[in-house]
Structure 1
């Protein structure tokens, strides 16, 4: 996740938490059990407070400008929320890599498939899956390996780095390629005794 996106997420959550905290504290201070326990220095809301009385509501009804403003503000808020939610759902999967000349691209799916085949060819690997993420300038390969029960993880990782990852870095040059490898082992099969 990029720093900008991470900062935007944290700022959004912080603002939402602050608004909910202030609103909750305000409403809770109007109840007798909470109001009696508050320090005397804190402002209190009376239990008999009316938030919208008939006179105030009548004055607001006389002004015709505020309903469209409220509806427009809510619509803008809803659109911003939907844009933020769409940015969170986005997978970050890379589609294609532009190469040196204009119009010449390398399919990220083809590169991921080639890396998967090369990773499966490593001795001791039972299954492999590679997924390319990030942006064209910041590539990240997420490699998932399932090893045979008798395979050495150190030897597999050494060969994977020397062959598969090195070839992918050469294909993606001059961009940097970071490889995240997740390794699991296939369990031994239980032997049946007859």
Structure 2
């Protein structure tokens, strides 16, 4: 699963939890159940404006247990650490946000700043690479600087695949097409091959840098 998909899933779950919690607080604070003539079950939280978020019984139910305070401290700490890890992972970039394209000089000597999103380049290479023979799965990452990008591709191949032919097809196909489309003089690329699941032992082969 890509980082974008994970982020969207996590944000959707957090949003649903916050929405549900906010709705419960709002309904209880506005005394909506009494105005609507609805009788919630006894375990339902926040049924009236005078009811606390956590009752005394709920707050003191397990305080006499030896495991209560370690759990009460460890769970919020893990939540905070997880949130900080997720935040720092978003701030850390493994590559440039975009690839800078060579642009002609306009009249007056000014330059146009043209960029293509790195993810668009990655998706184009992945789409073309996965269509090659004996390729089961592809993951591509653009690294380096915006003006001198590099491509790293990991490919899971089918058992008995012709690796030499695959490396040649990758170099002359997806990489060359991306280089030509971006207008770059060269596009260094690295290809990692991994054996399919049908093999008892996965073999990894690292091809030399191709241009």
TM-score, scaled relative to structure 2: 0.45
> Of the two, which has the highest radius of gyration?
1
More helix per residue: 1
State the TM-score, normalizing by the size of structure 1. 0.48
